[in-house]
Amino acid sequence: MRVLVTGASGLLGAGVARRLVSEGADVVTLQRRPSEVPGARDVTGSVTDREAVERAMTGRNTVVHVAAKVSVSGPAGDYERVNIAGTERVLESARRAGVERFVHVSSPSVAHAGTSIIGDGAGPADPQRARGHYARTKAAGELLALAADAQDFRVLVLRPHLMWGPGDAQLTERIIERARAGRMPLLGPSAALIDSLYTENAVDAVVAAVDAVDRVHGESLVVTNGEPRPVGELIRGLAVAGGASEPRLRIPAGPARVAGGLIERLWDAGGLGRGGDEPPMTRFLAEQLSTAHWFDQRRTRTALRWVPAISIDDGLRRLAAYYSDRSGRR
């Protein structure tokens, strides 16, 4: 198998590339900085760069498209260039190169309109109802990927949900850092049930999708640990595993949503996030912290012939060991 993995400088993309190399695949990676995946051939560049995409795609028969603009703030155009135009460029290049399998990594936020999700499957991606630039553009990119599905170009979409674990800077590090600073809020009673996904399980699921896409394609699958927990319990578990105190700051959910929307607009309008920092609260984040979102995993597990190997409790123990080891090496 000759695989291109985009976005392999990130935790998920790098993990998938490493696993595929270990299984004997010929792996090329494409990302803006070197992936440093042993055994893979790096192509440095962006999915927005036609020449870099064409160079990375040469000789490939399988693509795992992970690259994305991931954040909760910033100009809409930044998201559109990567998550929509970049996805379209990768799809077009893959079709021209004769690629047969395309695994597209999306997000459950593409079908989340701000209300609770209780035991649902993967609803349709909806750019009109999705919340925020990231979710809207990922929804549009997912629709492009699914529209390209054909018998000779098989597309399978995975939506990993709230991935966390050692080395994760998107969710895990932010919760721990904010908890250490006393700025990690719990909204309302923090009892809403949410699904999440341990990082190694996410890698396993994507690699399973590469094998599954020959028999299952043209659909989207949400991927989680399948262990819904109260949002406050999960946040406290991550904070403590990282060596922080349990978050004590509580904010009513309704005012947090209103304040989050206002902060988000002021943040973008004032250019406050230009240094890479993110707003302390957004409307989307407030909704995620105060509404239930957990998913029926039966179709995912049947389609991928996969089950998560690491439970949430085991993952938290591994996370605590990771931070303890890091602290000991300082």
- Catalytic center residues: 134
Per the document, the length of the chain is 330
Q: Which helix (H) or strand (E) holds 6?
A: strand 2-6
3-state SS, residue 14: helix
> What secondary structure letter does DSSP report for 86?
I
d(Cα 277, Cα 292) in Å, to the nearest integer?
27
d(Cα 268, Cα 73) in Å, to the nearest integer?
7
Instruction: Output the six-digit token pair for 189.
Output: 């009673």
d(Cα 220, Cα 239) in Å, to the nearest integer?
31
Residue 31: phi, psi to the nearest 5?
Answer: -165, 170
d(Cα 178, Cα 39) in Å, to the nearest integer?
36
Residue 46 burial by Cβ neighbours in a 10 Å radius (0-12, 13-18, 19+): middle
Q: What would the DSSP string read from start to end of 23-49?
A: TT-EEEEEESS----TTPEEEE--TT-
**Is the Cβ–Cβ distance between 283 and 133 less than 8 Å?**
no
